[in-house]
Every structure is written in C-alpha cells, then in structure tokens.
Structure 1
C-alpha cells in the first residue's frame, strides 16, 4: 500500500513539474490575404468594374491593410520613370530621421548633378543648397539634378546610393524592382512593377508621412524667376489628393502613383504605361472613384486600448491586460459588413513580463480571411510568483480539471 502511495505522489510531482515546462496551446493563424510580394492576385479586380483601364498595368489598394480592389498585370516589370524618386525620397527622409543629415544642412552641387538633363531645379556647379530645398525640388518639380546632389551628399556617389536603394527594395519585399539611378532616367535594367510601386508607396506613407507634405505642394521657385508647377494632375482637382509621383519617358509612357484620403480612408492607385496624359488621369480618377464610392475604413481597435486578457501561469498576477500596439482598422463595404470577426492570438507567456512586451496579435477576419493584424502588448509589469505558489496553482488547476471532467461525465451519463 505504501508503495502505491509513494508511486502516486511521485507521479503527481512529475506531472506538476512537466506541466510547468509544457507550453500552452496557441490559436492557429488563418492565411493572410493582404497584398504582399509574390502573392497571387486575381486580375481585373475582385469584381467586374464599370470602366476600362487604358494603362498596361494598374493597381488600387488601401494603404494600411493593403487590401486590393483592382489589379491588372501587376507583376510585370515596367520602366517607372520618375516614380523611382519615391525610393530616393524615402532614403533621404530616413537619413534625416536617423540623424545622418538635417533639413537645413548645406549641400554643395557637383558637376555631375549640374549635368543632369530632363526635369530639374536648375542647380549650378558649386552652389550651396539646403537639404530641404533639394527634397522640395525632387518632390514638387521632379528634379533629376537634386536627386544626384542628395545621393552624393549622403553616400559620396550616386552609385553607392543606388546600391542602398536596391537593398531597401529587398528589405521591404519588392521582388520585381531594380534601380540603376536615383531619378528614373531610362536604362534597360531599371524597372518596377505596379505591385512594388504600391508597396513602396504604402511603406513610405506609413513610415515617412512627411512625403505627403512635400508632394502636395503645387509650385516651387528656385534659381529662376518663374515658378515651376507640380505635374501631378490630381492636385487641386481630385478631393483629398496629396501625392504621390508622376513619371514619363518614351520608354515608360505616362505613369502615376496617386494617393488620396477621404474620411480617414486612404487609397493608393498605380497606372503604368498609359498612352497619354489624359488617359493617365482618367484611369487614376476612375480607380479612386471606385474605391471611395464602394468602400470605407472602419477603426476596430485604437492604440493602447485594452482588447483582452491573457493567462500568466507563473505570474504573481494570474491574468494581464493586453493592449493594441497601434490603431487597427479594416476596409468594409459601404452597404455594411456582416461577417467581420475579431480574434486574439496569444503567445505562451511566462513571468517576469514588462510593460510593452509583445504578447501576440489581434486579427480582423472576414470568412477566415485575415484583413488586418496588429501586435498585442503587455499593459503592465507582471512579476514571477515563487515556486510554492506556482506549484499550488498547478495542483489546483489539475484537480479543478479532474472535477470538471468528472462533472461533465456524470452529466453525460444522466442524459443517456
């Protein structure tokens, strides 16, 4: 009898120790269906549209979730012309953010920058120009000379800057992009796809919103008496339009990465190789009209909002509040959304935990399709409980589980 008692106690202790190390189950993730590099997207949109797009390639997405509303030949590489400058501006704005240069820093113009043809802000050799004016020149009048000046100032040569552009493209998942220069001058090995342009545009707007302040300015005067005007045909014409970049060369045709925001709902449109300036504009307006008339953006969780709780088996506090790391929204149809669900996926948590530690994520789903996801953070510190408390807690959980199982079994027997 003593043998069986000892065996039972030993088995119980082994079970408790093992339970301390076995991770708790995690809710399985549904597949993410937002626009990402390499994801297959149904051509010609998610439903038949009441208009034709003349551009060879076109795409319409929402900026936060990257949900796709229209897609046409979005992975074929095309010459992007001056749309290239979105990447040039991104690297420059990141350099300012990282303290590598300042807005009022002075740049000395080189002969190579002065020699640039095409659109320019008419820089002179040896001229001293502020970083702010150079970035305005790139954004507002698409200045090729300013692109070279910024590149040389940051990395010593345009070639090294271009290397950084390609590295950044790889980092953010642009799979059909290759840069040979900072401005988009024609080169057989310089190309982007509509998907990559949309992803780059969304990334830049989300991480460097200052670009919209630059790109939405209508005119710029520098080194000449007359102002030069922003070539973006959406500005001052389309409601909420504030970017992003036009492009044209004989090889590229007419291109436009456009963006507009209405009622906290921002769309990005891309058209490549349009046959005319008129077609570029009409295609873009038709795409944006379709998006704004049929969809809207709904906030489902705000930054720092408590959205759930999680169990901490070895914490002094058994439960901890979870908060959203950032605002979370989803795109919904204007006539209403019936199948929208929220789901919390929690990591295996073990004390000690610190405020701000990542604890999982919250998912917004429609019919098991992930529309958006946001990280969940620990709201407050959780210290580790001592081993005695944890052991008693495990024992209590074990016997509570046995009692619940027995009660369920008894209930099932009575119902038979």
Structure 2
C-alpha cells in the first residue's frame, strides 16, 4: 500500500467516506482529549431533535447563567436574549461558542446533565466504544476522551444521517447581531484555502493541542455526474502544534489520499455480484449485491489488476428478504493483498415455495 506522508500530529486517521476504507492512520485508537470536536456529538443530537420534529430552527432558546459564563470560545450571548436555534447552531459551529453549545444542550436535553447522558448513549449506539463524554462543549475534564477512529465514525454518521444540515459546516463567517464584529470567522482555515473542503470542526485546548476534522469532496472520473461522481475524504488530525499546522497537515493528508489512490466502481447500483442457487424458494436463484453499488479505493494504477470473489454461506435456503446481509465481496490486488471486504445484501426478496417444492428441495439437499 502507498506510504503516507510524515504528519506532525499525535494521532490521525484518513478515511475514504465514499468507499468506507481507512487509507492511513497513526495511533487511531489512542485515547485523546477531543476539545471542541466534542461539539460534533452535540450537533448530532441537535440535528436528530430537528429531524424528529422535537425542536425547530426558528424557535428560540433562553440563555442560562451557566451558558453565559462559559469560558473559552464564545458566541457572546447573554441571559437577556432569546436566541433562535439556527443561530445557536451557527454560533456553535462557526465560532465554536461554548455558550451557544450549552444553550443548545440545555434546550434539547432539559438539563446539561441529561444531555451528557444522551451523548454517551448515542456514542454507544454509533459503536464509538472508546469515547466518554463529560460535557457538551469539550473543555478539559477528567474522563472526557475519544479516539481518532471514533471521531471518524461520528463525523461519517453525522454527514450521512443529516445531509441537510452539513452546509452549516462550510460557513466561513457568521456572527449574531449585536455581538463583536471581530468574532465572525470560522477557525477551519481549510475553508479559505481549499474550495473542495466543506467542513467540519476545529478543536483546541492546552491538553488536546490543535485538532481538526476536515472533509472534502472532489470529482472523480468514472463515478458518474453530479454528487454521485464525487469522492469524499475525511481526515481526523489530533494534537498538532498550532492553528496553521493543523490546517497544513490536514491538507497534506487529504491531498495525498486523492493522489495516492484511485477510485474504481466494481458494481453499478443494484447490479448483482452473483446469482447463486437458492433452495426451497419460489425462485431458483437469488441476486446478491448492494443497492448503492460497490466502489473501492486502490493504490494509483492498480485498478486494472483487481480481482474479486464472492464469499457466502452454502447452501442458501429461502426465505431471504431484500436487504438481508448474505456474504461478502472480497477484493484483492494482483499481488494478493486484500483491498476491501464489502458486505453483500439480497437485492430481491425470495419467498418460500409451496409445501411440495420445499419437500422436493429438502430431498435434493439431503442427496447432496
């Protein structure tokens, strides 16, 4: 596999979101302080509440004394204000406002303590096994830790589950009316340097160093037109030495990922990777594939030498439901290294046959 560049950070992970493959990593499971990257989980719960209709973008939340007095990055809101949810979201994302974050947490959770419980429950549900939250904003607190791998999981799910809210992360400048004009610039420098970057979040404390979860979309030949033809990469960089360093090192990782790997479409959406025999069904075969197709990232120039093989249980016996997971597509390079193992699903439901058909297939299976 291609050798990643030297990256000046305590830990990092580069994920190809389009294919689900980790392209490079360093200390991806080492516990670290997330600083304001914590706000990705806060945003996840806020977006979930919006999606469920529990809150709306136009409703207002009050500002508690606790929110008003939060140290660190601020939106500069105070207890005299009733602030629309959408403005609090922008204040949390663009300005990394700890005051806005606490106001959102209290508004969605009812209390800060209850919201933190919800954060930890959601982390568990997403499979973030090495993450523990103690607050919604990311200030240093004992036991408040995560990993680069868990952050990549969270960021990916955030983008996939709430695509309608992802554009907030590409806002370069925002401030709430009446707050300081100088406090309007997104701290993610890559939004100003690279037009393909559209998020996501910065973080910094003395203990965590300078951190950045950055994501970019660039067009790729052969994947199709429009959004379907774009490849998204995500870099998680933790513990850089400065604001400029976290941006430069993240840019280095993203650029390397786009140049060192090619993206190859192996299966079109809905195309079958295999149509094996199925027993005791109304059909004799079942189509296995993926509704969205299969795309893999491979070292540059290796696309023509890929080999793929379907690994599945045998025999297959009806009924099998559409979407049911059955087997994997194992993709290897010419040299034999495994590039990816992609789960396959049933593309069309195969119902059980009648009593006679099932009995006849049972006899044939027994003879085999």
TM-score (normalizing by structure 1): 0.76
The structure with more radius of gyration: 1
Structure 1 counterpart of 2:225 = none
| Offset, 1:162 | 1.0
Structure 1 counterpart of 2:226 = none
Structure 2 counterpart of 1:299 = 265
Question: In the TM superposition, what whole-angstrom CA distance separates every residue of 1:277-334 from its partner, at most 9, and x where no partner exists?
Answer: 2221221111112111111322322333344324332223322434523332111222
- Maintained 8 Å contact 1:122/1:145: yes
In 2 relative to 1, CA 129–374 (structure 1 residues): closer, same or farther, beyond 3 Å? farther
* Equivalent-residue separation in structure 2 for 1:79 and 1:394 (angstroms): 58
Structure 1 counterpart of 2:255 = 289
> What SS is found at the alignment partner of 2:134?
coil
In 2 relative to 1, CA 308–71 (structure 1 residues): closer, same or farther, beyond 3 Å? closer
* Equivalent-residue separation in structure 1 for 2:262 and 2:195 (angstroms): 15
Structure 2 counterpart of 1:369 = 338
* Equivalent-residue separation in structure 1 for 2:315 and 2:292 (angstroms): 21
Question: In the TM superposition, what whole-angstrom CA distance separates every residue of 1:74-100 from its partner, at most 9, and x where no partner exists?
Answer: 322222211111111112112222333
| Offset, 1:245 | 0.7
* Equivalent-residue separation in structure 2 for 1:277 and 1:357 (angstroms): 45
Structure 1 gap segments, 5+ residues each:
1-45, 402-416
- Maintained 8 Å contact 1:328/1:374: no
- Maintained 8 Å contact 2:201/2:213: yes
- Maintained 8 Å contact 2:74/2:97: yes
* Equivalent-residue separation in structure 1 for 2:238 and 2:307 (angstroms): 34
| Offset, 1:360 | 1.1
Alignment partner for residue 250 of structure 1, among 201, 206, 209? 206
Counting only pairs closer than 5 Å after superposition, residues 349-364 of structure 1 correspond to structure 2 as 349-352=316-319, 356-358=322-324, 360-364=326-330
> What SS is found at the alignment partner of 1:228?
coil
* Equivalent-residue separation in structure 1 for 2:51 and 2:19 (angstroms): 24
* Equivalent-residue separation in structure 1 for 2:291 and 2:143 (angstroms): 40
C-alpha RMSD over aligned residues? 2.6
User: What is the number of equivalent residue pairs in this alignment?
Assistant: 352
Alignment partner for residue 217 of structure 1, among 171, 179, 191? 171
| Offset, 1:336 | 2.6
* Equivalent-residue separation in structure 2 for 1:158 and 1:233 (angstroms): 31
Counting only pairs closer than 5 Å after superposition, residues 53-132 of structure 1 correspond to structure 2 as 53-132=7-86
- Maintained 8 Å contact 1:326/1:374: no
Structure 2 gap segments, 5+ residues each:
220-229
- Maintained 8 Å contact 2:270/2:347: no
* Equivalent-residue separation in structure 1 for 2:310 and 2:211 (angstroms): 40
TM-score (normalizing by structure 2): 0.85
Structure 2 counterpart of 1:229 = 185
| Offset, 1:392 | 4.3
* Equivalent-residue separation in structure 2 for 1:332 and 1:287 (angstroms): 16
Structure 2 counterpart of 1:197 = 151
| Offset, 1:206 | 2.6
- Maintained 8 Å contact 1:310/1:346: no
* Equivalent-residue separation in structure 2 for 1:87 and 1:174 (angstroms): 11
